[in-house]
């Protein structure tokens, strides 16, 4: 005779069991797998296994505890299979992705710098661009702008001060 605490699923109404626990089990599975379709598949597979083995499937005293534990275990197995299938990126793909990210960041920094430079007065911007972008000496810059070397230095000092205090560039300059 069967133990009082164990019941065969033959004696339970499978449709009632499914109707009562399907949605709560899907919700519980979702908390593990974070994908509604995967959660539903896991719970459906659990019920299929129960149905296929209904003549011999034994559930302890609590259907609810058994079904939630079985769902949790199925979710953990699913997550392990997903993890095992994930392949690490080959080194060359990882390096290419890193380089692409650096280029995007450099382009973004350049865009921010150009916005900040455009906020400078024209002479300060010209002096800054000639010295820092075109690698011209102070003397060459002074001749191109038809000013003295000290005036070029003053324009650079003013431009750098404005850029250091520009809100777009706050993350790129260290404050004293």
User: Is there a contact between 123 and 145 (Cβ–Cβ < 8 Å)?
Assistant: yes
The reply to whether 63 and 108 lie within a common domain is no
Q: How are beta strands 7-8 and 58-59 bridged, if at all?
A: antiparallel
Nearest to 29 by CA among 63, 62, 76, 83: 76
The reply to whether 76 and 109 lie within a common domain is no
The reply to whether 67 and 103 lie within a common domain is no
* Cα separations in angstroms, 131 against 3, 9, 116, 135, 154: 91, 84, 17, 5, 13
Q: What is the mean pLDDT of residues 47-76?
A: 85
Asked whether residue 152 carries a pLDDT value surpassing 70, the answer given is yes
Q: Can you give the residue range of the structural domain that contains 156? A: 98-169
The reply to whether 156 and 115 lie within a common domain is yes
Residue 175 within any structural domain of the chain: no
**pLDDT digits 0-9 by tens, 82-119:** 887 776 656 766 677 777 777 777 777 788 888 888 98
Say which residue, 91 or 73, is predicted with more confidence.
73
**pLDDT digits 0-9 by tens, 162-172:** 888 888 777 66
Query: What angle separates helix 149-165 from helix 138-145, to the nearest 10 degrees?
Result: 100
Q: How many helices (H) and strands (E) does the chain have?
A: 7, 2
Q: What is the pLDDT of residue 13?
A: 67
**CATH code at position 132:** 1.10.10.10
**pLDDT digits 0-9 by tens, 5-39:** 445 554 456 788 888 999 999 999 999 999 999 99
User: Is there a contact between 64 and 28 (Cβ–Cβ < 8 Å)?
Assistant: no
Asked whether residue 61 carries a pLDDT value surpassing 50, the answer given is yes
Instruction: Share the mean pLDDT of the chain.
Output: 83
Choose the final residue of a domain: 85, 112, 129: 85
The reply to whether 29 and 75 lie within a common domain is yes
The reply to whether 69 and 105 lie within a common domain is no
């Amino acid at each position: 005779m069967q133990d009082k605490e164990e019941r065969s699923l033959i004696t339970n109404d499978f449709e009632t069991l499914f109707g009562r626990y399907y949605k709560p089990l899907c919700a519980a599975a979702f908390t593990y797998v974070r994908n509604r379709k995967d959660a539903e598949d896991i719970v459906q597979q659990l019920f299929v296994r129960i149905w296929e083995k209904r003549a011999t499937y034994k559930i302890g005293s609590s259907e609810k505890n058994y079904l939630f534990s079985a769902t949790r275990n199925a979710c953990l197995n699913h997550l392990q299979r997903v993890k095992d299938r994930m392949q690490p990126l080959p080194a060359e793909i990882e390096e290419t992705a890193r380089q692409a990210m650096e280029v995007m960041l450099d382009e973004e920094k350049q865009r921010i710098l150009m916005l900040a430079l455009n906020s400078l007065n024209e002479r300060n911007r010209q002096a800054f661009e000639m010295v820092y972008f075109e690698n011209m000496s102070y003397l060459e810059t002074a001749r191109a702008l038809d000013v003295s070397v000290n005036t070029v230095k003053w324009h650079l000092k003013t431009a750098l001060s404005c850029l250091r205090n520009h809100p777009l560039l706050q993350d790129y300059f260290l404050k004293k």
